[in-house]
Chains A and B, each alone.
Chain A
Amino acid sequence: MRRGALEYCVLALMRDTPRYAFDLIDALGKTGMLTTEGTLYPLLSRLRRDGLVKTEWRESTDGPPRRYYELTAEGRRALNAFRTEWTAFRAAVDGILQEAKKS
């Protein structure tokens, strides 16, 4: 489940501003969503192939050039669809867990 949700977490992190991979790794690492940093790259590659993100290389002031990932309109739609689905899913699971607790 975590694996399926990860790609939407990545999309969510890019919602407001383009991010570069290391930046995403930092953010995901703090939440424990990403244990093997390298596995983020195939995910990003997949998102790009699916047209959910687009990329651009930018010079960095304090290191090598960075590839920035930015949501496309399609990526934004996918994120919004997931948010709706997730909210309903979470409510359903929460409901069942509460019931189980009471009985």
Chain B
Amino acid sequence: MTAPHAEQLIAGYLARLADAGAELPREQRNELIEDMRSHIAEARSRESGDETDASVLNILDRLGEPGVVVAEARDRLGVQAIPAYRPGILEIAAVVLLPLIWPIGVILLWISPAWKTRDKLIGTLLPPGGYPALFWLGAAVAVTNGEGVGCSGVGVNGQPIQFSCSGPPAWQMALGTVVAIVLLILPLVTAGYLAVRLRWGRQGAARPA
């Protein structure tokens, strides 16, 4: 008998612990997770006979539900959850202005405590400048491409003049269209992403009492 899912089970348990411990101060949460990790390693090394998924589950069961352990940690360490930060006008303005008036949107984004740094970076960099920057980028691309278009008119024997134009090759046009669509959608996607992160991040941080 073997334990084909041992690593998965343990990783899942530790992930749930990290999740439940999100409200603990980072240092204490990390310590708790490290303690649990070495406990599990010790317990596994003590198991007599072949390790099975069941024996791993028993180890985790004896450790206790992550929520229970975290509640104990909160009590023992005197950690109180501080009232959750409620997103308001500031966050709405940030999400709306980010694609439209990028500099102001970015400032609001970084002022707000409602997002984590990672989300703020995503909001800032995808895409930098928002729609105004895209507009200027688009204009610049159009001008560059325009220069590459050559037309020649040939009049033959008094026939109407025929023009033949050589634009960019078709694949370039297609690629350009795809890129343009992505660039147009991206600010909206980013704004939507930030709005979603706002909702999920409501539980707020915690501090030692």
Contact = CB atoms under 8 A, between A and B. Distances in A.
B31 A45 contact: yes
Contacts of B38: 64-67
A92 interface: no
Contacts, number: 70
B69 interface: yes
B183 interface: no
A38 interface: yes
B71 to A, nearest CB: 9
Interface string B31-55: 1100110110111011000000000
B76 interface: yes
Given A36-B69, A37-B63, A42 B45 contact: no
B162 interface: no
Nearest to B72: A39
A46 B50 CA distance: 36
Given A21-B35, A64-B41, A42 B73 contact: yes
Interface residues of B, number: 24
A62 interface: yes
A63 interface: yes
B76 A46 contact: yes
* Chain A: interface size category: 10 to 19
A66 B43 CA distance: 12
B77 interface: yes
A45 B208 CA distance: 14
22 contacts: A21-B35, A22-B42, A36-B63, A38-B66, A38-B72, A39-B69, A41-B69, A41-B73, A42-B76, A44-B35, A45-B28, A45-B31, A45-B32, A45-B73, A46-B77, A49-B77, A62-B45, A63-B42, A63-B45, A63-B46, A64-B42, A65-B38
Given A38-B66, A49-B77, 18 more contacts: A21-B42, A22-B46, A36-B64, A37-B62, A37-B63, A38-B68, A38-B69, A38-B72, A39-B68, A41-B39, A42-B75, A42-B76, A45-B32, A45-B73, A46-B76, A63-B45, A64-B42, A66-B38
